[in-house]
């Protein structure tokens, strides 16, 4: 089958090559991928030093079950599914407490192999890594049963695919992690697939005021179309001062970093009111460090900094309710998908993201 591979860290372009995909092992399912969105986390892996190679990235995918392994009971061949980067074990300390994104076994998504050290992908007998728990830039992949969520056949697969990362991450950060309440004031920094999904989440939560910030004008315009209150260019406007002025001098209740940098977390901590919350959604580079001068002020102001991994979501519980919101017109997911490309155009898709062209580009198989 065809797959898009990173052959050497920090190289461009990504090559499309023939790769073998194994049969599913016990507790696993094989999926024919129909769509896979390009997320900034894929680009980060492609551009970082020391990525394991060769690797098939792509973790925002949907498709059809083509084979089931021994012991699989919740899925059948022919089922439509959305894939999650997390395959929770349902047994560990975190799983039994309901925090499946912290599952000890699901952490293997960062290793490129299953917990037993194997990968479904190989080329001429050599192991090929499976990126971020899915390996969705391929015609087929194998995932653990708990990472594949059955979806009704009438749900468009491209919609299910963006749910795989952007929507669960952004909406979940608002609803599950921060628990934004009605009437809250919010600042969202970064308006890619993740930030726009945060914006959609704040609308579901009935926030009163959404200040959005991004250097890319077309993305600010899109956010305004989707209901943001006011959009600012951070290269032109002081985000902290603006946020305070816009909220009677107090600062916003919640600030979301949906771009991924320690500097933006600091901006968030300065832009929130006393008692407010800054939510880390973007993934800063590993070398980034947070600077909090006069840290005692965290005590006297009761400011909070919290992190949101994959929207603190368990896909098996989250996807059905997000799909209902979409089907009943309360979640505009079509607006998120601005470009569709065949797998051979993966490098153009990555360029879309680098240039901030549209919101989400998805690969179609």
Interacting residues toward Zn ion by CB under 5 A: 39, 41, 88-89, 92, 95, 103, 165
Name the H helices within the chain: 40-47, 93-96, 157-162, 168-172, 193-204, 217-225, 239-246, 262-271, 296-301, 315-327, 346-355
Nearest approach in angstroms of CB 165 to ligand NAD is 5
Shortest distance, position 85 Cβ to ligand NAD, whole Å: 9
99 binds ligand NAD (CB under 6 A): no
Instruction: Please tell me whether residue 195 binds ligand NAD under the rule CB under 6 A.
Output: yes
Binding-site partner at residue 29 among Zn ion, ligand NAD, none, CB < 5 to 8 Å by type: none
Residues 312, 281 contacting (CB under 8 angstroms): no
d(CA 347, CA 227): 32
Residue 28 interface partner, choices ligand NAD, Zn ion, none, CB cut-off 5-8 Å depending on type: none
Please state the φ and ψ torsions of residue 114, each to the nearest 5 degrees. Answer: -65, 165
- In angstroms, give the least distance from the CB of 309 to ligand NAD: 5
Sign of CA dihedral 362, 225, 199, 82: negative
Cis peptide, bond prior to residue 44, ω within 30 of zero? no
**What CA–CA distance (Å, rounded) separates 312 from 170?**
10
Pick what 92 binds: ligand NAD, Zn ion, none; C-beta below 5 to 8 Å, kind-dependent: Zn ion
Q: Using DSSP bridges, classify how beta strands 60-68 and 28-37 pair: parallel, antiparallel or unpaired.
A: antiparallel
Closest distance of CB 172 from ligand NAD, Å:
9
- Interface with ligand NAD, residue 283, by CB under 6 A: yes
Site for ligand NAD in 250-269 (CB under 6 A): 258-260, 264
Alpha carbon separation from 139 to 170, 341, 348 (Å, rounded): 27, 14, 19
Which of 9, 27, 234, 320 binds ligand NAD (CB under 6 A)? It is 234
Could you say which residues in the range 214-233 bind ligand NAD, by CB under 6 A? 214-216, 219
CB nearer to ligand NAD: give 44 or 301.
44
Name the residue with tokens 């060769």: 54
- DSSP string over 285-346: -TT-----SSTHHHHHHT-EEEE-SGGG--HHHHHHHHHHHHHTTSS--GGGEEEEEEGGGH
**Residue 68 site contact among ligand NAD, Zn ion, none (CB < 5 to 8 Å, cut-off depends on kind):** none
Closest distance between Zn ion and the C-beta of residue 135, in Å?
13
Residue 22 binds which entry of Zn ion, ligand NAD, none, CB below 5-8 Å type-dependent: none
Kindly identify the residues of this chain, within the stretch 105-144, that bind ligand NAD according to CB under 6 A: none
> Which residue, 65 or 200, is less far from ligand NAD as judged by CB?
200
Binding site for ligand NAD (CB under 6 A): 39-41, 44, 165, 169, 189-195, 213-216, 219, 234, 258-260, 264, 281-283, 308-310, 353, 356
């Amino acid at each position: 089958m065809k797959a898009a591979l990173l052959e050497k860290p920090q190289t461009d372009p990504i090559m499309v090559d023939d790769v073998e995909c194994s049969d599913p092992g016990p507790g696993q399912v094989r999926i024919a991928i129909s769509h896979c969105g390009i997320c900034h986390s894929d680009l980060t892996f492609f551009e970082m030093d020391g990525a394991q190679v060769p690797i098939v990235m792509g973790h925002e995918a949907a498709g059809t079950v083509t084979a089931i392994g021994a012991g699989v009971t919740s899925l059948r061949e022919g089922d439509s599914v959305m894939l999650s980067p997390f395959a929770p074990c349902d047994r560990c300390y975190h799983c039994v407490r309901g925090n499946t994104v912290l599952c000890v076994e699901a952490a293997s998504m960062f290793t490129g192999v299953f917990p037993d050290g194997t990968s479904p992908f190989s080329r001429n007998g050599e192991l090929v890594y499976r990126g971020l728990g899915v390996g969705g830039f391929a015609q087929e992949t194998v995932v653990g049963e708990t990472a594949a969520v059955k979806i009704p056949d009438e749900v468009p697969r491209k919609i299910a695919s963006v749910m795989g990362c952007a929507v669960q991450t952004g909406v979940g950060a608002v609803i599950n992690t921060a628990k934004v309440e009605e009437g809250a004031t919010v600042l969202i920094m970064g308006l890619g697939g993740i930030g726009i999904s945060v914006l959609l989440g704040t609308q579901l939560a009935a926030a009163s005021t959404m200040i959005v910030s991004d250097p890319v004008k077309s993305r600010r315009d899109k956010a305004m179309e989707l209901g943001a209150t006011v959009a600012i260019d951070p290269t032109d406007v002081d985000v902290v001062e603006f946020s305070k002025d816009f909220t009677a001098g107090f600062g916003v209740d919640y600030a979301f970093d949906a771009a991924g940098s320690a500097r933006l977390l600091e901006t968030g901590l300065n832009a929130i009111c006393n008692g407010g919350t800054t939510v880390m959604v973007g993934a800063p580079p590993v070398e980034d460090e947070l600077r909090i001068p006069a840290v005692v002020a965290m005590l006297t102001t009761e400011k909070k900094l919290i992190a949101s991994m994959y929207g603190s979501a368990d896909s098996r519980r989250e996807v059905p309710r997000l799909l209902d919101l979409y089907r009943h017109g309360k979640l505009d997911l079509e607006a998120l998908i601005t470009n569709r490309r065949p797998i051979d155009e993966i490098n153009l898709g990555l360029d879309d993201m680098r240039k901030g062209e549209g919101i989400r580009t998805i690969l179609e198989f």
